[in-house]
Copies of this chain bind each other. A is one copy, B any other.
Amino acid sequence: MSSPLFSGLIPPLLTPRSADGTLDLGSLERLINHLIEGGSHGIFALGSSSEVLYLTNAEREKVLRTCVETIAGRVPLIVGVNDMTTARVIDEAQRLLAIGGDAIVVTSQFYAVDNTFEEDRHFRAIADAVDVPVFAYDVPVRTKQKLPLGLLVQLAKDGVIAGVKDSSGDDVAFRQLALATADIEGFAAFTGHEVVCDGALLSGAAGLVPGLGNVDPAGYRRLFDAAQAGDWESARQEQDRLAKLFDIVFVQTPSVSGGAAGLGAFKTALQIMGVIESNTMSQPMETLGSEEAERIRAILASTGLL
């Protein structure tokens, strides 16, 4: 297999807020350092885990600026560009890349009623408009459409995309993508799924982008290193421990949405661990309360993080 531009553990960075709801850039700085010191090979900013869809443009810029300054070149910085159609994505990409970033991550169009022809033109127009590598972000739980395997492979072969961040939950298509792109120089398939990273690496993943990696970057780094060394039994055991840690996302009360449950749990864990100051969520998401925090604390303890 060829060597991709980016590989290894690249957690999708959360966006801490103070209790009053404003951005907490001090906590963000500490979180970035937590990730780098935990062994991350890169940082993915302004992905779904950052609550990017809830951030105003001004907030997105502040977050990115803090990333650029805090990372200070220690690891690559990949930037999520989140908007619904081609021209708007290009606008946003240019605005953000003026601040910094080594690559961008872009979804299919959403809110649009489009087809594969439009998606093809979408990615090609974006790649033409920027000077950094473009990753396709396949996240049907949000966009409500899976990027077709054939389209991804063609875009990869044509050098339009440098990789895929797969959060589709479709491990069959992921294996097929990894196989079909194995010979494409520099191409990388990343998985965004926290509890099957060992299987994804066995399938040929170049790297991991787990939201839970905010909480335990060192664990995911050990998992990645074991897999690289061919020690699948250790990789599996680390994954099983991390899968138990992932149970923190299921502690929420019914009024908390699916979107708020996972990110809220990650924030609450990091608050308990002393990395960030508050677990406050972006409006209109609900912030987890003290009862949920107790249950998360217990899971952190039982999986070795406290």
Contacts and interface: CB of A to CB of B under 8 A. Distances in A.
**Assembly stoichiometry (copies):** 4
Interface string A193-221: 11110111011000000000000000000
A232 B117 CA distance: 39
Contacts of A115: 255-258
Contacts of A203: 196, 198-199
Contacts of A109: 284
A235 to B, nearest CB: 8
Interface size on A, as a range, is 35 or more
Contacts of A55: 87-88
Nearest to A145: B144
Interface in A71-95: 82, 84-88, 91
Contacts of A286: 117-118
Nearest to A91: B56
Interface in A227-263: 230, 232-233, 236, 239-240, 243-244, 255-260
A187 to B, nearest CB: 17
A141 interface: yes
A175 interface: yes
A196 to B, nearest CB: 5
B195 A202 contact: no
Contact of A87 (B56, B121, B141, B200): B56
12 contacts: A53-B112, A55-B88, A82-B111, A85-B284, A110-B111, A114-B260, A122-B284, A169-B169, A169-B170, A198-B203, A199-B199, A202-B232
Given A119-B284, A171-B196, A199-B203, 20 more contacts: A53-B111, A56-B87, A82-B111, A111-B143, A112-B142, A114-B260, A115-B257, A117-B257, A117-B284, A117-B286, A118-B260, A118-B286, A122-B284, A125-B284, A169-B170, A169-B171, A171-B171, A175-B195, A175-B199, A196-B203
Nearest 7 pairs of A and B residues by beta carbon: A199-B199, A121-B284, A113-B259, A171-B171, A232-B232, A115-B257, A113-B258
Interface of A: 53-57, 82, 84-88, 91, 109-115, 117-119, 121-122, 125, 141-144, 169-172, 175-176, 179, 193-196, 198-200, 202-203, 230, 232-233, 236, 239-240, 243-244, 255-260, 282-286
